[in-house]
């Protein structure tokens, strides 16, 4: 066998590392901004581009896809080359991947504040960017599989299995959840509607957490933790069990995001059962990681990287225990729509993803610059400041969640809601929101400290762009391998296909009956398509990101039906492309808000929420009075909706604007009676029309 | 005793079928693991450490 010499590409690792740091600071800063907006509404700055509804998705996208995304690529490009004893397949593809991904992030950072959004959580980017993501993801895949094919190590280490599962599952999730019908350059409607759209979205949303925030990080944990501790992984067998059971079970758990909604109850139950089962592989992985440090715990005292890793693994354990607990219907009934979910997500994001990313940066940057870390002491300070930040973030949020969740449900001995005004429950938890902002500020300051430390480290060393390495050439296989799994490990394409089948099973069992058996979504004859004006209003509602704070699904609890009205039925959402059920109630549910208040109330509320609700933290929307309804798009919207199955009459698009103007005029006339003078072509009229329609198809009006 | 599992109607099928799929899959993975040889798992667990001694042994099978 011949000893071959080659180079590892460290430049691409460095580039993704710098992008991770840069976008991390951006994402966390925007996170801090949205946190303070929820305490001091003036921080919305009274412009459309900086309001909470548009900025919140910018924060989530920046942190998930920019900070964590670049962190994943940094870790994968570093570990993949070394585990396979090969340089990346193509330097050109590496560069296309890097710059393509940064352009996608830049496009997101521009389009989201402009209001171009699909409204699907963690998938808000519009269709042109979706296509770009697909292309760049394929580039990443070709580069990864090309490297696997030209490897010098026969067997694929478990970390690479996690990378393969990440690649294939994210591809499936992204494609299925992005099936949209474009109606303009930056506007599209989802193919799915209502309950079906909700199921697809939360199948995606849950598994984006699983296969973007979890599996690649588990792969990196299995590589970097043994490297940092200089010890092999505790149990390789456990890692195999961890991998297969995790990717199999995770994919089924999505419906736990839709408990007590109008999703068929069998799908909800399935989501709950598999969520509980998910504890086993998740904790198996955490234990495998922590036990890797057996006999090396003394190093944790001195090595900041291991400190970060231990907290990352602990946060992973906490979040993956908490997730299944939140899936229990009894817990979910109190926790859902509250800050508990926000706390849960941030324990994972700040603790698991953030801290592991910091650990890898602290470990890899000095290595590729051929020097030592500028200051271990500074890294330790970062560790403690960051840990304190997580605690200051999570504990107040749990507190706020329990307080608000119980306030929503409390009745007086006389049998009436004790807190009938939703706003009183929001104002009660503002002190906790202030503490959360302090936690976020601490975490961000730790990241800034790390940035300084790493810049000094880079200045001290010199980038080893092409790190020399040598390994034996891989000879052809002559022996008959008996073990199925070992044979499988040698065939990455087959491995990918089997992983694909494993992750498809869960999605298919849950989605196919919901899509194909009509009894799963019973139709209601009184439910009619939105009028053209309501449709335009709905798109403004989507553009402004109202769904970030207001849900549109009333759960079948007495506390909700008394507060909001009749619980929501599946058949009410059949024309909702997309569904707008939301996942958080910073403000009240709006599904039964139609005809609850006069038009004047909505007009005043949108102009200045404190006029109708003193103390409200909702931002004002004065631009809705100045901006005109985009009537030029009405025909295209009606045509698109008809293509998606909404029963608008044939050629209705030709006279839809006539109906639109007529309905707008009736609202303007009504407002005139309340001494409000507004033009009928203004956006505020459309959104008022939409809000007044919500939930009225089956609403019983009191005589 | 097995009436709850055998006598299924309507949507119950999806739930029980899902659990069966998982059970069968889990059994397969367990068999793989039980049949795995220790030298192989030891070798694989050492891979990230890039141990020279292990490198020589990579063709041990």
Q: Which residues of A touch B59 (CB under 8 A)?
A: 154, 475
* pLDDT classification of A513: cutoffs 50, 70, 90: confident
- Say which residues have a Cβ less than 8 Å from residue A416's Cβ, sequence separation at least 6: A562
pLDDT tens track for A181-210: 999 999 999 999 999 999 999 999 999 999
Q: Please tell me the predicted confidence (pLDDT) of residue B4.
A: 65
**Does pLDDT of A335 surpass 90?**
yes
3-state SS class at A616: coil
ipTM value for the complex: 0.74
Q: Do A159 and B33 touch (CB under 8 A)?
A: no
Q: Does B60 touch chain A (CB under 8 A)?
A: no
> Is the Cβ–Cβ distance between A445 and A388 less than 8 Å?
no
Q: Please tell me the predicted confidence (pLDDT) of residue A295.
A: 87
**Does pLDDT of A284 surpass 90?**
yes
**Which of A236-245, A428-437, A489-498 is predicted with the least confidence, judged by mean pLDDT?**
A489-498
CA dihedral sign, ordered A443, A449, A450, A455: positive
DSSP code string of A36-73: HHTT-GGGGTTSGGGSHHHHHHHHHHIIIIIIIHHHHH
> Is the Cβ–Cβ distance between A191 and A530 less than 8 Å?
no
Q: Which residues of B touch A273 (CB under 8 A)?
A: 15, 18-19
* pLDDT classification of B21: cutoffs 50, 70, 90: confident
Taking residues B27-56, what's their average pLDDT?
Answer: 80
pLDDT tens track for A143-156: 999 999 999 998 89
* pLDDT classification of B2: cutoffs 50, 70, 90: low
Structure tokens at B60: 């041990």
Average pLDDT of the residues of chain A: 95
Q: Does A273 touch chain B (CB under 8 A)?
A: yes
**Does pLDDT of A440 surpass 90?**
yes
What Rg, from alpha-carbon coordinates, does chain B have?
Answer: 21
Around Cβ A49, how many Cβ atoms within 10 Å? 12
DSSP code string of A624-638: HHHSBP-GGGHHHHH
Taking residues A428-435, what's their average pLDDT?
Answer: 98
pLDDT tens track for A57-91: 999 999 999 999 999 999 999 999 999 999 999 99
pLDDT tens track for A603-657: 999 999 999 999 999 999 999 999 999 999 999 999 999 999 999 999 999 999 9
Helices (H), A328-375: 329-335, 339-346, 355-368
Q: Do B22 and A249 touch (CB under 8 A)?
A: yes
* pLDDT classification of B40: cutoffs 50, 70, 90: confident
Instruction: Name the B residues in 2-31 with CB < 8 Å from any A CB.
Output: 11-12, 14-15, 17-19, 21-22, 25-26, 29-30
> Is the Cβ–Cβ distance between A313 and A289 less than 8 Å?
yes
Q: pTM of the prediction? A: 0.94
Structure tokens at A474: 């891989």
Nearest-angstrom CA–CA distance, B54 and B42: 10
Residue A155 C-alpha, separation from nearest chain B C-alpha, in angstroms = 8
Q: Which residues of B touch A241 (CB under 8 A)?
A: 29-30, 33
Q: Please tell me the predicted confidence (pLDDT) of residue A702.
A: 57
Nearest-angstrom CA–CA distance, A10 and A4: 19
CA dihedral A174, A352, A437, A208 (to 10 degrees): 10
Q: Please tell me the predicted confidence (pLDDT) of residue B51.
A: 62
């Amino acid at each position: 066998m011949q000893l071959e010499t080659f180079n590892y590409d460290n430049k691409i690792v460095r580039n993704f590392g710098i992008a991770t740091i840069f976008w991390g600071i951006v994402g966390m800063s925007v996170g801090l901004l949205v946190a303070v907006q929820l305490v001091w509404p003036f921080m919305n700055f009274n412009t459309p581009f900086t309001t909470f509804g548009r900025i919140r998705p910018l924060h989530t996208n920046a942190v998930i896809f920019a900070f964590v995304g670049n962190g994943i690529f940094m870790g994968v490009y570093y570990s993949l080359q070394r585990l396979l004893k090969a340089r990346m397949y193509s330097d050109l593809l590496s560069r296309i991947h890097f710059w393509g991904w940064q352009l996608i992030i830049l496009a997101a950072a521009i389009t989201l504040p402009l209001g171009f959004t699909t409204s699907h959580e963690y998938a808000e980017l519009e269709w042109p960017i979706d296509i770009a993501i697909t292309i760049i993801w394929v580039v990443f895949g070709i580069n990864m599989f090309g490297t696997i094919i030209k490897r010098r190590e026969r067997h694929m280490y478990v970390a690479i299995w996690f990378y393969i599962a990440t690649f294939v599952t994210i591809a499936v999730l992204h494609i299925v959840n992005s099936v949209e019908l474009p109606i303009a350059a930056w506007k599209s409607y989802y193919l799915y509607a209502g309950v079906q759209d909700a199921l697809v979205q939360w199948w995606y949303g849950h598994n984006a957490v699983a296969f973007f925030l979890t599996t690649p990080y588990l792969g990196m944990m299995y590589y970097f933790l043994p490297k940092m501790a200089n010890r092999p992984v505790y149990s390789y067998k456990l890692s195999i069990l961890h991998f297969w059971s995790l990717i199999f079970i995770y994919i089924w758990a999505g419906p736990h995001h839709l408990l007590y909604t109008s999703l068929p109850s069998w799908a909800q139950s399935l989501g709950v059962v598999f969520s509980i089962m998910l504890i086993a592989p998740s904790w198996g992985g955490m234990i495998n990681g922590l036990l890797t440090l057996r006999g090396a715990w003394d190093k944790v005292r001195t090595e900041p990287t291991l400190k970060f890793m231990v907290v990352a693994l602990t946060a992973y354990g906490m979040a993956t225990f908490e997730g299944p607990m939140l899936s229990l219907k009894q817990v979910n009934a109190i926790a859902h729509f509250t800050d508990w979910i926000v706390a849960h997500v941030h324990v994972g994001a700040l603790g698991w993803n953030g801290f592991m990313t910091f650990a890898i940066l602290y470990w890899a940057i000095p290595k590729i610059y051929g020097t030592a870390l500028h200051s271990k002491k500074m890294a330790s300070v970062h560790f403690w400041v960051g840990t304190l930040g997580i605690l200051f973030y999570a504990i107040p949020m749990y507190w706020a969640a329990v307080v608000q969740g119980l306030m929503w449900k409390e009745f007086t001995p006389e049998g009436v809601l004790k807190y009938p005004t939703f706003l009183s429950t929001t104002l009660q938890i503002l002190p906790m929101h202030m503490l959360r902002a302090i936690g976020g500020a601490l975490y961000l300051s730790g990241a800034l400290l790390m940035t300084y430390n790493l810049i000094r480290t880079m200045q001290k060393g010199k980038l080893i762009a092409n790190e020399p390495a040598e390994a034996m050439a891989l000879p052809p296989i002559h022996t008959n391998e008996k073990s199925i799994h070992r044979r499988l490990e040698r065939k990455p394409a087959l491995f990918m296909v089997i992983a694909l089948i494993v992750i498809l099973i869960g999605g298919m069992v849950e989605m196919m009956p919901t899509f194909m058996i009509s009894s799963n979504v019973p139709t209601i004859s009184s439910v009619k398509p939105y009028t053209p004006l309501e449709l335009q209003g709905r798109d403004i509602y989507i553009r402004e990101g109202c769904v970030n704070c207001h849900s549109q699904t009333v759960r079948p609890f007495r506390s909700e039906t008394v507060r909001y009205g009749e619980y929501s039925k599946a058949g009410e959402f059949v024309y909702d492309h997309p569904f707008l059920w939301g996942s958080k109630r910073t403000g009240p549910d709006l599904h039964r808000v139609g005809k609850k208040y006069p038009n004047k109330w909505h007009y005043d509320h949108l102009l200045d929420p404190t006029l109708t609700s003193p103390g409200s933290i909702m931002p004002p929307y004065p631009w809705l009075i100045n901006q005109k309804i985009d009537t030029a798009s009405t025909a295209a919207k009606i045509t698109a909706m008809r293509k998606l199955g909404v029963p608008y009459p044939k050629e209705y698009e030709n006279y839809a604007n006539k109906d639109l103007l007529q309905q707008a005029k009736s609202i303007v006339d009504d407002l005139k009676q309340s001494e409000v003078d507004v033009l009928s072509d203004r956006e505020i009229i459309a959104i008022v029309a939409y809000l007044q329609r919500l939930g009225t198809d089956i609403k019983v009006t009191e005589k | 005793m097995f009436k709850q599992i055998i006598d299924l109607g309507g949507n119950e099928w999806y739930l029980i079928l899902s659990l069966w799929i998982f059970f069968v899959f889990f059994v397969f993975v367990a068999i793989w693991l039980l049949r795995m040889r220790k030298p192989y798992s030891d070798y694989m667990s050492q891979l990230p450490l890039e141990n020279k001694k292990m490198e020589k042994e990579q063709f041990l099978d």
